[in-house]
Chain A
């Protein structure tokens, strides 16, 4: 897909030093300095006021979620703007948006591993953490939307006194399996990749508490060549399993829409269109996380401007695929000749009293704005990348919102047409989920190695270790 972008050509054989593209490798570092630099971020760097400030703020946002959820459990989903026919609103929009963000993490960690893209090394840990936290935020929404979330286990097949089974033919049950599998596999992949680094932290820690905790998490890893052999094999196999998984997850999410008969949902283009959009928004989020991290932790040698450049290209590439999805959506609703379908699409782009501003804003954010990434000097500017990423994240959120609200509010039956208007609780729940994400991410940045130490060591000249997975 994106592998033929220049700058990330597929050189499967590295030169004998293990390095053939020094701009993705920390220049002027050796094993000792790489180890010291990254482990010091966790072990010796004092907790700064900046981190505490961000953590306090994100905790506050997460607190908003606690209040919103408590009120929801008390009152029911009616506190949201849900109203027949708009039974899906912010909740499902947030679900699709968050889970889409997660997809770029798996793409970086698994797909680029299989493609031997060495540039993944500096950012894969950050991206995987992002995936896990984003999927946690995503999973929350359908559960809260159940109405009676305390019966969530009714979604699972288990021996129950009611002698009932879940309806396995339903895309919503596919979703339960897809999302929970995705979360579990991402967690395993993340944790397993971190075991050698946890051993490094164990060996470098000077205080007893850190030694004990990292020691337990490292499971007694002792860097034996035999262990490495199995580790690399397991890592490669997990990558091979996670790559089709990530495609399947968002395809299943899109099936929630596509298997229905709702106009402008019932489309075969949905799975690839959703997957591309997911990766698109996810890469924007990776950029948004990497830029402050490389600044505040002084990691410019590790996450180089070339890394940002490559991610900028991927944002551009996935923007084009997503835009192609928009185009084919339009073409099909026109060409199909179905009145309801045709009307719904026309409503999307011309109903300025309702949602048309959102539609045009998302076209602007997702199709027009990323085009400036064609220009190399702009693509290599952090400020430009951050602004583009923010707009892309906004655009992708609006896209899901537009798809969900327009189709539901203009169903086949004009007598039951409606309009979705979010309430303060919709906004509070969404803001709260951002708070949870940021809180978890800040904890990760404080207590875990944010760059894979062992994989970075393997990239250094003379390490004679090809990248993990080779």
Chain B
């Protein structure tokens, strides 16, 4: 073990979703906080075990939708009632019911961009490289294996004891060191 070079963290591999869920729970009980689990498909409850609270994403989308609808309506109001008035059979310039379809479409458009970009940016993506990709086995995290990584930034992280702790969680194979 080259214990002098700093590492990103220690990683353990698991075969089932139940095992990684259980391991995460036990790591959390042991006091670890800076850690992440990697699974080929969403596993219910795992983010909660990692200490993640509710995501801000719904709020971002709500704001996006309101901005889209607001800007959309104001644009139509300004152009039709102020800047370029056009008398259609004596109907009011601010004929707001006719503005609703475009207001709705822009609500959806900006809301959808907020959902997509919100997901990307809150997740810190795009990020082409990340230390976890240095582990050769990690390629299977997108296929059929589950991983738990305790990161070196955690206050209770110690290269020796954390590795021993991970080994007690019954991982598949050796505990892996994740180089930077």
Q: Which residues of A contact B (CB under 8 A)?
A: 30-32, 35, 157, 163-165, 167-169, 173-174, 177-178, 181, 184-185, 188-189, 191-192, 196, 199-200, 202-204, 215-216, 219-234, 237-238, 241-242, 244-245, 248, 252, 255, 454-455, 457-458, 462-466, 468, 470
**Any A CB within 8 A of the CB of B18:** yes
Query: What residues of B have a CB within 8 angstroms of the CB of A228 in the complex?
Result: 39, 41-43, 46-47
A-B contact pairs, 23 of them (CB 8 A): A163-B84, A167-B86, A168-B80, A177-B102, A181-B106, A185-B109, A196-B142, A219-B120, A220-B127, A220-B130, A221-B125, A222-B38, A223-B38, A223-B141, A228-B39, A228-B42, A230-B57, A248-B104, A255-B101, A462-B17, A464-B43, A465-B17, A468-B42
Q: Which single residue of chain A is at the shortest CB-CB distance from B144?
A: A31
Asked if A229 contacts B143 (CB within 8 A), the reply is no
Given known contacts A164-B84, A165-B83, A185-B108, is B102 in contact with A174 (CB within 8 Å)? yes
Q: Are B18 and A227 in contact, with the CB atoms below 8 A?
A: no
On whether the beta carbons of A463 and B109 are closer than 8 Å, the reply is: no
> Out of A165, A226, A237, which one reaches B52, CB within 8 Å?
A226
The answer for the CA separation of A188 and B84 in the assembled complex, in Å, is 34
Q: How many whole Å from A207's CB to the nearest CB in chain B?
A: 15
B58 at interface, CB cutoff 8 A: yes
Residues of B105-134 whose CB lies within 8 A of A: 105-106, 108-109, 111-113, 115-116, 118-120, 122-123, 125-130, 132-133
- The 4 A-B residue pairs with the shortest CB-CB distance, nearest first, are A234-B119, A31-B144, A464-B17, A219-B126
**Best-surrounded residue of A225, A229, A241, A252 (most CB of chain B within 10 A):** A225
B150 on the A face (CB < 8 A): no
Given A157-B79, A228-B47, A232-B42, check contact A178 B101 (CB 8 Å).
yes
**Which of B16, B47, B132 contacts A226, CB < 8 Å?**
B47
**Chain A neighbourhood of B142, CB < 8 A:** 196, 199-200, 202-203, 221, 223
Contacts of B141 in A (CB 8 A): 203, 222-223
Q: A168-B98, A173-B102, A225-B47 are in contact. Are A455 and B41 (CB under 8 A)?
A: yes
Interface of chain A: mostly helix, strand, loop or mixed? helix
Would B37 and A224 count as touching, CB distance under 8 A?
yes
B166 at interface (Cβ–Cβ under 8 A)? no
Q: Is the CB of B143 within 8 A of A203?
A: yes
